[in-house]
Structure 1
Amino acid sequence: MTINAGRHFVTIDESAAGERLDRALAAALPALTRSRVKALIEGRRVALAGGQTIEEPSRKVKTGERFEVDIPEPEPAEPVPQALALDILYEDGDLLVLNKPAGMVVHPAPGNPDSTLVNALLAHCGNSLSGIGGVRRPGIVHRLDKDTSGVMVVAKNDRTHVALSKLFAAHDLTRIYQALVWGAPKADRGRVEAAIGRHPVDRKRMAVRKSSGRNAITDYWIEKRFGPPLHPIASLVGARLGTGRTHQVRVHLAHLGCPVVGDPVYGRKSRNAKAPAALVDFARQALHAAVLEFRHPTTGEEMRFATELPQDFSKLVQSLNSVK
């Protein structure tokens, strides 16, 4: 028995009241095993219809509750090594640090079955690559969106994968981004502390949530304004992550009223008639992971990696210097 990808709705009747959520959903959707349902819940793909995301498989259900189950498309076959160019900043027997280009997907997924960073890493590292991240995500400790460029660290063995994962989970490292945003934040620098969770309607988006979501902290500062001082058309902003939620920088900057230029999900086209065409038509989100600092899990050495803005991003920023 199979079940199609997409949204499925389950309403709890009296016979299931008081059951664990994973058990109740598995009974209502017999094509899914209980372990599969549990993975969907923990993967934030189950929510009260029109409401908050549920992350606890053991949650007791009530009569009349209606749940939305978002079943993803089947994952592609196991990735194969592909000899793709990598901009490697540092490498030793435990880890590898690289500068990911915009346009490269980190790991295979529906719509992007190959030519990903994972395919390139499999070719570069061979059998040494850590498998803890899963068959389709070997060595991957964190990721950047397809159209975000910048610094990433990859584990080359299981011990390093565990150690780096702990650093990311504890936020015991430094990650700094640069973003070109529409307008400018009201303050030259500040902190956004606003929980992020799945959008209540569009499950593919994240959103600032007042009554649900996970704590998220971003410190930001304005590096440069472009256009009239009081009403800039755009500004270059630095952002340091205090947490690491999905789409955090993009969501928090949009929450400030300054979405990232070119962001197809959280952005917008400028209504400012003075906005140059290069800014309006920028073909991707102008977001770059500029700095990554962490303690090497084996040597204990403090590592710091910083990268310049990629050419298309840098060229756009330079073109804005003449905007009045």
Structure 2
Amino acid sequence: MSEVFIVDEELQDIRIDKYLNEFLKDNSRTYIQKLIKNGNVLVNDNPCKANYRVQSEDRISVDIPTPVTADILPENIPIDIIYEDDDILIVNKPKDLVVHPAPGHYTGTLVNALMYHCKDNLSNINGVLRPGIVHRIDKDTTGALIVCKNDYSHNFIATQLKEHSITREYVGIVCGVVKDDKGVIDAPIGRNKIKRKEMCINELSGKNAVTHYEVIRRFEKYTLMKFNLETGRTHQIRVHMASINHPLLGDEIYNHNKCPFKLQGQCLHARTIGFIHPTTKKYVEFEAKIPEYFSNLTDNVLK
């Protein structure tokens, strides 16, 4: 895969490895430095070093080698399985677990764990990096995730995702006291043009995004909330809540306030997921247990 970037004036004088890390999502800075060292990154058609500082109008070309199947190996990583049959698994994903491998990061993911657990019984529609994966949640978001064991189930679930007919309910803790008991945020989400790893409200080129929210409990400085998604945009709840000045507690990207608690990313949990089962054609619904760190905050810490 090849990518070409032209440096904007406001981004000049940044190290090239840091610059590319902002634009090449799913690629670690270490991997980008390896690409530079191996000559896969050219600036104005010339090789460079990782500490080169980009200049306005620099033309940066990046050649990312195609990943091979051998790079993805099964790993005996414990996974919390809520439900399993011949077609699907419902997994309760913990914090700090990446859903699928990406260039430069081929181990320690949910996919590696699934390959060990399911052997060859995973759909392959999404290729060698994402066997069984029909949708995903952020690394530091916990909760229910559907995994498909065969291509028929994958297509069946993917169609429901596309039609927005799957029930997806999240719970989260946001900063500030939300005044309205219920509400809807209808604002398109697109990629941030400057910080390419971030999403933002983008009225011109963003995709339709709708989040329904409801207050569960108010604390002195925080609010426990429930969210139902009509759409499934990247970082949707995190971006939408930040847009109304109630960012997720612990969110290291969209919350610019210092977190007073020792957390690992945002307090967001995919609690409930419901859909039509690919074989029985009946509606099924599953609930993922709220993690201990989350319940400890609401039960013992927040006042």
Q: Could you say which TM-score interval applies, normalised by the shorter chain? A: 0.7 to 0.9
How far off is 1:111 after superposition? 5.1
Greater Rg by CA: 1
What are the superposed Cα offsets for residues 27-55 of structure 1, whole Å, 9 maximum, x if unpaired? xxxxxxxxxxxxx9xx9xxxxxxxxxxxx
Letter in 2 for 1:319: N
Structural mapping, 1:53-92, within 5 Å: 77-78=68-69, 79-92=72-85
- 1:292 matched to 2:273? The reply is yes
- 1:240 matched to 2:228? The reply is yes
Partner of 1:97: 90
How far off is 1:113 after superposition? 1.9
1:76/1:110 contact within 8 Å kept: yes
How far off is 1:97 after superposition? 0.8
Partner of 1:160: 153
Cα distance change on mapping 1:159 and 1:181 into 2, 3 Å: same
Letter in 2 for 1:261: L
How far off is 1:182 after superposition? 0.4
Matches of 1:162 and 1:110, distance apart in 2: 25
Matches of 1:82 and 1:310, distance apart in 2: 23
How far off is 1:307 after superposition? 2.0
Partner of 1:8: 5
Partner of 1:187: 180
Pairwise CA RMSD? 2.7
Cα distance change on mapping 1:301 and 1:207 into 2, 3 Å: same
- 1:121 matched to 2:114? The reply is yes
Cα distance change on mapping 1:107 and 1:186 into 2, 3 Å: same
Matches of 1:143 and 1:70, distance apart in 2: 29
Matches of 1:209 and 1:161, distance apart in 2: 30
Partner of 1:303: 284
Identical residues among aligned pairs (%) = 41
2:169/2:229 contact within 8 Å kept: yes
Cα distance change on mapping 1:102 and 1:132 into 2, 3 Å: same
Letter in 2 for 1:152: L
Counterpart selection for 1:263 from 251, 254, 259: 251
Residue correspondences, number: 255
Counterpart selection for 1:282 from 251, 263, 272: 263
How far off is 1:282 after superposition? 2.3
Matches of 1:147 and 1:204, distance apart in 2: 15
Partner of 1:320: 301
What are the superposed Cα offsets for residues 5-30 of structure 1, whole Å, 9 maximum, x if unpaired? 7x61299xxxxxxxxxxxxxxxxxxx
2:199/2:239 contact within 8 Å kept: yes
Partner of 1:173: 166
Partner of 1:142: 135
Letter in 2 for 1:138: P
1:262/1:268 contact within 8 Å kept: no
Q: Could you list the runs of 5+ residues in structure 2 that have no partner in the other structure?
A: 9-22, 26-56
1:76/1:113 contact within 8 Å kept: no
Any idea what SS the aligned residue of 2:212 has?
strand
Matches of 2:153 and 2:87, distance apart in 1: 6
Partner of 2:209: 216
Any idea what SS the aligned residue of 1:166 has?
helix
- 1:151 matched to 2:138? The reply is no
Cα distance change on mapping 1:76 and 1:264 into 2, 3 Å: farther
What are the superposed Cα offsets for residues 273-308 of structure 1, whole Å, 9 maximum, x if unpaired? xx9x43xx3232111001001010111121111123
1:105/1:112 contact within 8 Å kept: no
Any idea what SS the aligned residue of 2:224 has?
strand
- 1:204 matched to 2:185? The reply is no
